[in-house]
């Protein structure tokens, strides 16, 4: 090697040493906003204890902040009928749901029963996608469901304040013989509605009106109706 070669090699070595090492690959960090379970299920389910109108809306129309799994919807429909509602014993519903979920290769999904199931004539099933849970909620029979559904439509089509909304749902409940109930109309309670109308529901609430969200139940058999409205 000549003196010139040695000099060039030395300079190239110093240059190479001065070049910083390439940075490690950067992995994007996706930050997920935490959702309380109360508001996850409707949502729909809705969670919280959100329940759809028995026979009025299907599981795929309840508001859940996640995209529903269509295979789960099919399993629910096959087990309980197209509306996701059935007037059968809770254990019979669990057995039918487990069978259909397994048939759709959804063995990782679990079934949970919410308070009040078994105290009402019927039950309703809805999925909670983030938790991989199918939840059973208390549901009313056909006559009672139609009465509450009519009250819900009235709330949506007109603007009721908190007191008038509570009075409307109370009257509807008593008219079908349901007298052991409570009405939750607190601003921190469940929020939701049929997924094809959720924008209209939000606008209705923003305008100062109350809407009907769904129903739940307590361990003692008390039916709970949930209303969503503006902060005082």
Q: What is the pLDDT of residues 105-145, one digit of tens each?
A: 999 999 999 887 887 788 889 898 889 999 998 888 888 88
- Residue 178: per-residue pLDDT: 87
pTM score over 0.75 = no
Higher pLDDT, 55 or 84: 84
Measured CA angle at 46 (ends 146, 191), to 5 deg: 85
Cα dihedral value 102, 106, 110, 114, nearest 10: -90
pLDDT tens per residue across span 165-184: 999 999 999 998 888 899 99
25 has a pLDDT exceeding 70: no
Higher pLDDT, 79 or 2: 79
11 burial level (CB within 10 Å; 0-12, 13-18, 19+): exposed
Higher pLDDT, 116 or 11: 116
Please tell me whether residue 115 adopts helix, strand or coil conformation: coil
What is the side-by-side order of every strand in the sheet holding 211-217? 181-184, 223-228, 211-217
- Residue 66: per-residue pLDDT: 57
The confidence band for 83, taking pLDDT boundaries of 50, 70 and 90, is: confident
Q: How far apart are CA 208 and CA 160, in angstroms?
A: 8
3 has a pLDDT exceeding 70: no
Lowest mean pLDDT among 1-10, 118-127, 149-158: 1-10
The maximal CA–CA distance of the chain, rounded, in angstroms, is 107
The confidence band for 157, taking pLDDT boundaries of 50, 70 and 90, is: very high
- Residue 115: per-residue pLDDT: 80
The confidence band for 153, taking pLDDT boundaries of 50, 70 and 90, is: very high
- Residue 197: per-residue pLDDT: 86
Q: What value does the CA radius of gyration of the chain take, rounded to a whole number of Å?
A: 27
Closest CA to 100 of 82, 83, 76: 76
Alpha helix positions (H), 32-126: 37-40, 70-80, 90-103
Mean pLDDT of the residues in the chain? 76
Q: What is the DSSP letter of 217?
A: E
32 has a pLDDT exceeding 90: no
- Residue 227: per-residue pLDDT: 96
The confidence band for 36, taking pLDDT boundaries of 50, 70 and 90, is: very low
Closest CA to 169 of 140, 178, 189: 178
* Residue 108, φ and ψ in degrees, nearest 5: -80, -10
């Amino acid at each position: 090697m000549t003196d010139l070669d040695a000099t060039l090699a030395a300079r190239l070595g110093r240059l190479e040493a001065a070049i910083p090492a390439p940075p490690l690959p950067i992995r994007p960090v996706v930050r997920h906003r935490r959702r309380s379970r109360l508001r996850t299920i409707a949502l729909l389910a809705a969670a919280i204890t959100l329940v759809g109108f028995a026979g009025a809306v299907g599981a795929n129309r309840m508001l859940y902040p996640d995209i529903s799994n269509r295979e789960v919807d099919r399993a629910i429909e096959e087990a309980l009928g197209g509306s996701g509602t059935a007037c059968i014993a809770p254990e019979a519903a669990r057995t039918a749901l487990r069978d259909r979920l397994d048939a759709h290769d959804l063995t990782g999904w679990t079934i949970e029963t919410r308070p009040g199931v078994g105290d009402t004539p019927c039950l309703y099933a809805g999925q909670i996608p983030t938790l991989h849970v199918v939840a059973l909620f208390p549901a009313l029979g056909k006559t009672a469901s139609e009465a509450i559904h009519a009250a819900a439509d009235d709330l949506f089509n007109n603007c009721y304040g908190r007191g008038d909304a509570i009075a409307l749902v109370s009257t509807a409940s008593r008219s079908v013989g349901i007298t052991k109930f409570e009405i939750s109309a607190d601003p921190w309670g469940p929020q939701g509605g049929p997924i094809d109308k959720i924008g209209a529901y939000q606008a209705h609430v923003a305008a100062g009106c109350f809407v009907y969200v769904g129903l739940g139940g307590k361990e003692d058999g008390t039916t709970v109706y949930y209303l969503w409205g503006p902060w005082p």
